[in-house]
Copies of this chain bind each other. A is one copy, B any other.
């Protein structure tokens, strides 16, 4: 079969400079270059093949991941890659692995919570991977409630050691990635007990395994917690269980940047403020938002390309059928997802800036913006991960039956992605934190304490409570100012209404708890406003390339208006828009979708994903879907023979009515 670019007609329709858009998506020419180089490096190296992954049993799958991680590390050393390059390379290897936790949690925990001395001792070992570490916080019985952890670290002044112990079954560490089979060390969170007093949860560096033969050290029981969602997927990761039986570690292995225990067993708070720890949290959450945009954009890329290849119904006079992307229902399901991938990309970029800003302020002992930054990142983590998880599954459905095949890439993308809604803070628990912050913000309106950063719109509360949207024709919905104001008004009004309702309750705590569902919705409204406003701010920048800015404007409008439509209940019940205006939103969305249509494929090409990284027959760059689907099918182990294993024992006797006597 001769291969041609089936999507060439789509590509020739596009109205903007795709190469320029690639730079915008990547963030800069520099970022693009690195990404592009690393993606090709991985894609062209047969050692990184991943297409057979779903047929492997757990042990083979895991061993295969160990191999890839080692190979990746070898290449990183051989090519003397920078940290930035190495991290990109790992991204494109596209397989959850112990290295994610080593680099993403273990190293940052030591950096953030270790003293200078501790950093000097441990970081070089970690940087060279002479030790491999994980992040052991969650227990069988406690995840969200970190303060409820049960593992104890009791100081023994006689030996100058901490005794790490798991007093109950539920205190077993449970979930840490990299723990089950690989890590030699862990940052373990445990209740610090000294002098008979419980000082709450602190971090400790604990060696788990022998560096000679990898056996578990005395007192340590460690293993894998078993299979997780999906095929391949997260089962490449050894999320682990860990039980301590009075394990002793030197006192110096408590992470002591913020609190210390002295040789005498005295607990001390250092003058380094606790808030410093928030910096790491902002950093980690920012990467999660960036990951959301990657995951969603991959799914959207697959669904968009396949929707152009797939034709169904509507053939006239024996001509080709309609491309399913031309159905308006397909567009109104797909294009908002495409727009959202871009929206999250830019809010992720902004969070990157926020992280730098927070870090600089912390260094200057300015903690004023921390609560706002904390709420904002918590809210965006929750918003983007929940939406992305649903969005990936919607993309799978948009591909009809074929989306259900592993070779579509979408099932695995979903299964790997969904835990992002849970780890680093359960999304509902996070939104409740945002809500608490917003209620405080509302209660302080009119006082000296002015709302800052992403809440500064609340400073215009009088206006926002009574302003009227003056959309009269559908086209009015293309004005950024109009859109921004309705998002601000909706968020402000919902949060003020919540605050009022809470205040009517016997006491605020009870009110908060009773009304928590409403509060969560108000928090979502606030977070959506942030994304919309950051997208609009991005559009204020100089953006090079023919037609690029126009496309981004279109995407921004589709993002915002699809939310107005989806949440029209909020906008209507707060009186922010009228029913008539709501119906004009639909009309304008239809027109925007039609404008987007010729650019759809080019807009997903701009993500610059290799076929290797996409890992999808449906999303192939060349659109050569059917022959490849057919080819892939035959690779399944079940097709090793025409007559399946088990035929003689189970099928033949059934057909021949000989089951009665069979032993099954």
Contact = CB atoms under 8 A, between A and B. Distances in A.
A148 B230 contact: no
Contacts of A59: 637-638, 640, 644-645
A516 interface: yes
B404 A229 contact: yes
A220 to B, nearest CB: 10
A427 to B, nearest CB: 8
Contact of A517 (B404, B579, B586): B586
B572 A140 contact: no
A342 interface: no
Interface in A269-319: 312-313, 315
Contacts of A403: 422
Copies of this chain, count? 2
Given A129-B655, A406-B229, A148 B47 contact: no
A546 interface: no
Interface stretch (A17-25, A151-159, A325-333, A360-368): A325-333
A397 B415 contact: no
Given A642-B215, A664-B74, A630 B513 contact: no
A71 interface: yes
Contacts of A81: none
B651 A66 contact: yes
A650 interface: yes
Given A227-B55, A422-B404, A647-B214, A128 B657 contact: yes
A545 interface: no
A169 B214 contact: no
Interface string A161-198: 00000000110101100001110100000000000000
Contacts of A544: none
A169 B627 contact: yes
A520 interface: yes
Interface in A220-272: 222-231, 234-235, 238, 241
A401 B78 contact: no
A644 B404 contact: no
A579 B586 contact: no
Contact of A231 (B169, B227, B640): B227
Contacts of A312: 142-145, 148
Given A70-B664, A172-B630, A184-B655, A58 B637 contact: yes
Interface stretch (A30-38, A104-112, A130-138): A130-138
A632 interface: yes
A313 B145 CA distance: 6
Given A58-B636, A67-B646, A655 B142 contact: no
A372 interface: no
A659 interface: yes
A44 interface: no
Interface in A541-582: 565, 567-575, 579, 582
Given A70-B659, A312-B142, A643 B215 contact: yes
B407 A411 contact: no
Contacts of A515: 328
A515 B664 CA distance: 57
Q: Which of A175, A401, A643 has the most CB of B within 10 A?
A: A401
Nearest to A324: B144
A622 interface: no
A224 B657 contact: no
Given A516-B327, A516-B328, A644-B181, A67 B664 contact: yes
Contact of A650 (B69, B231, B582, B635): B69
Given A223-B634, A321-B148, A74 B569 contact: no
A27 interface: no
Contacts of A330: 428
Contact of A227 (B54, B327, B518): B54
Contacts of A418: 393, 396-397, 404
Contact of A426 (B400, B407, B513, B659): B400
Given A422-B397, A664-B71, A633 B230 contact: no
B142 A654 contact: no
Given A181-B644, A422-B401, A638-B59, A654 B73 contact: yes
A393 B394 CA distance: 13
B213 A643 contact: yes
A514 interface: yes
Interface string A190-215: 00000000000000000000010111
A629 B175 CA distance: 12
A650 to B, nearest CB: 4
A74 to B, nearest CB: 5
A308 to B, nearest CB: 15
A226 B406 contact: yes
Interface string A48-67: 00000011111100110011
Given A59-B637, A230-B411, A393-B393, 18 more contacts: A47-B664, A58-B638, A73-B654, A74-B662, A138-B401, A143-B401, A182-B644, A211-B655, A214-B647, A223-B638, A229-B404, A229-B406, A229-B415, A332-B517, A397-B422, A517-B586, A573-B583, A574-B579
17 contacts: A55-B58, A66-B647, A66-B651, A69-B650, A70-B650, A129-B654, A140-B626, A142-B312, A145-B312, A145-B321, A169-B630, A222-B642, A229-B230, A229-B414, A401-B422, A514-B590, A517-B590
Interface of A: 1, 47, 54-59, 62-63, 66-67, 69-71, 73-74, 77-78, 128-132, 138, 140-145, 148, 169-170, 172, 174-175, 180-182, 184, 211, 213-216, 222-231, 234-235, 238, 241, 312-313, 315, 321, 327-330, 332-333, 389-390, 393, 396-397, 400-401, 403-407, 411, 414-415, 418-419, 421-423, 426-428, 432, 513-518, 520, 565, 567-575, 579, 582-583, 586, 590, 626-627, 629-630, 632-640, 642-647, 649-657, 659-660, 662, 664
